[in-house]
Copies of this chain bind each other. A is one copy, B any other.
Amino acid sequence: MAASSGMPSESPAVIPTVVNVGLMGLGVVGTGVAAHLLGDGPSLSDIAGRPVKLKKVLIRDISRPRDINLPAGLLTTNAEDILADPDIHIVVEVMGGTDPAENYLRQGLAAGKHVVTANKEVMAKSGPELMALARNNGANLLFEASVGGGIPIVGCMMNELAANDIRSIRSIINGTTNYILTRMAHDRTSFEQALGEAQELGYAEADPTNDVEGIDAAYKLTILASLAYRRSFEPVDVYCEGISKLEPQDFRYAEELGYAIKFLAIANLDDGGVQLRVYPALVPLEHMLAKVDGVYNAVEVDGSLCGQVLFHGMGAGREPTTSAVVGDLIEVVRKMGSQTQAVNAQHGAEPQNGTPLTVRPIGDLQARYYIRLDVADSPGVLAQIAQVLGDGQISIAAVLQRDTNPETESAEIVITTHPAKEASIQKALQAMAGLPHVKRVSNTIRIEG
């Protein structure tokens, strides 16, 4: 923080007459950003207060047809044309992935260039290190587009909500999986069917692992938590469960019990530690997060002063992401010549005064649980299950038992619990799985809120 980085220098950087931008990447988002810099939308120069010009665009293949007409001489396949050009003041990176993007960012910052990036993977894995590099080179590094698309959550965590101690962040920050869960909830489709539709619509990639296993959400949560708790976290600090094990009947039971199933990314303070987790969860139907449907994202921040503030909007796509990238660009241009510490001081590159917050293991979680079991239709099975829970000091909140399926001679039991420790629940689940009449512990879902 400021105290350790010392008072800022009072000699301002020289402000260029025209601010030149080098754009790295011309995919969906890059095309949006380039179009904006070339004159679409409100005048960037007017809003930023200084003339801003797109000087170079890095692409992989110069011969590929594109959605946008760019002036001759703007395109290059050589990153050095941006990184080694002293007249390029700002690098905008929208390539994605770590290699070669991270290296480019390092080179740009080391050369004192300001950087705007949409790269969640790089920011989650190396954000604090890059922030330090920026600070040491008098550069700004902004990354609004790395989380939540058009939702201004990164800037708000850094600036508008800076007065708050953050108690928790509960969020839906992956649009692909929210689309899949919305389909499963409304139409009782299977996971596979909903995923296939998402792929057809272009919401999910051919290999959907990053989305459905929560890797994408874990990157974003890492970034938000680092801002909220002013220390650095890594993606491995996030406990992660994907959504592929959800079945249509989970949605039916959830609704019957008054819940929606949402894929949440949660960070919260607990007993001096921070708990970071991504998993599908039951959310009370009346909660705002339960009402977030389709590809929308939402982030609920619970702050010591502001209370619960919810942000809801488009979490991906060309225009929303362009909104975030260009917003950052405007901020960088407005701040040129000022102490760059202004932007960087608040990121979690260094622990706060006092003991740094630890990461709490998932076993420490206190939560309510939904447990669905496939049991043999025999007398006394519910009593045995209740006994296991009682032995673990876990109390039952509700039980649903369905009519037996005569074909399989199975019955389905759904139990919700009062708050219990995750470690106790896991032990009880193992014991249940060993009961003679329990055919399968079909699913366990945490209940939030």
Contact = CB atoms under 8 A, between A and B. Distances in A.
Interface in A1-49: 1-3, 7-8, 10, 12, 14-15, 17, 32, 36, 41-49
Interface residues of A, number: 72
B163 A45 contact: no
A307 B312 contact: no
Contacts of A438: none
A304 B156 CA distance: 20
Contact of A309 (B155, B162, B311): B311
A217 to B, nearest CB: 20
A204 B266 CA distance: 36
B303 A308 contact: no
A109 to B, nearest CB: 20
Contact of A156 (B50, B156, B339, B345): B156
Among A42, A45, A291, the one with the most B-chain Cβ atoms within 10 Å of its Cβ is A42
Among A320, A338, A345, the one with the most B-chain Cβ atoms within 10 Å of its Cβ is A338
A2 B156 contact: no
Interface stretch (A65-73, A324-332, A381-389, A417-425): A324-332
A50 B313 contact: no
A342 B150 CA distance: 22
Contacts of A341: 49, 334
Contacts of A14: 10
B313 A309 contact: yes
B1 A46 contact: yes
Nearest to A148: B309
Interface string A145-156: 000011110011
A151 B307 CA distance: 9
A10 B12 contact: yes
A312 B314 contact: no
**How many identical subunits does the complex contain?**
2
B309 A49 contact: no
Contact of A41 (B152, B161, B305): B305
Contacts of A342: 49, 334-335, 338
A11 to B, nearest CB: 8
Contacts of A12: 10, 12, 338
Given A162-B47, A163-B44, A312-B312, A305 B323 contact: yes
Nearest to A326: B163
B43 A353 contact: yes
A357 to B, nearest CB: 13
A346 interface: yes
Contact of A163 (B10, B309, B317, B330): B330
A349 B342 CA distance: 25
A356 to B, nearest CB: 14
Nearest to A42: B165
A385 B101 CA distance: 67
A323 B164 contact: yes
28 contacts: A1-B49, A3-B45, A7-B15, A7-B50, A32-B305, A42-B163, A42-B164, A42-B165, A47-B163, A49-B345, A144-B160, A149-B306, A150-B305, A151-B306, A152-B156, A160-B327, A162-B327, A162-B330, A164-B323, A305-B319, A306-B320, A307-B313, A307-B314, A307-B317, A308-B313, A309-B311, A312-B312, A334-B341
Which 10 pairs across A and B sit closest by C-beta, in order of nearness? A338-B338, A152-B160, A150-B306, A163-B326, A2-B49, A305-B323, A309-B313, A306-B323, A334-B342, A310-B312
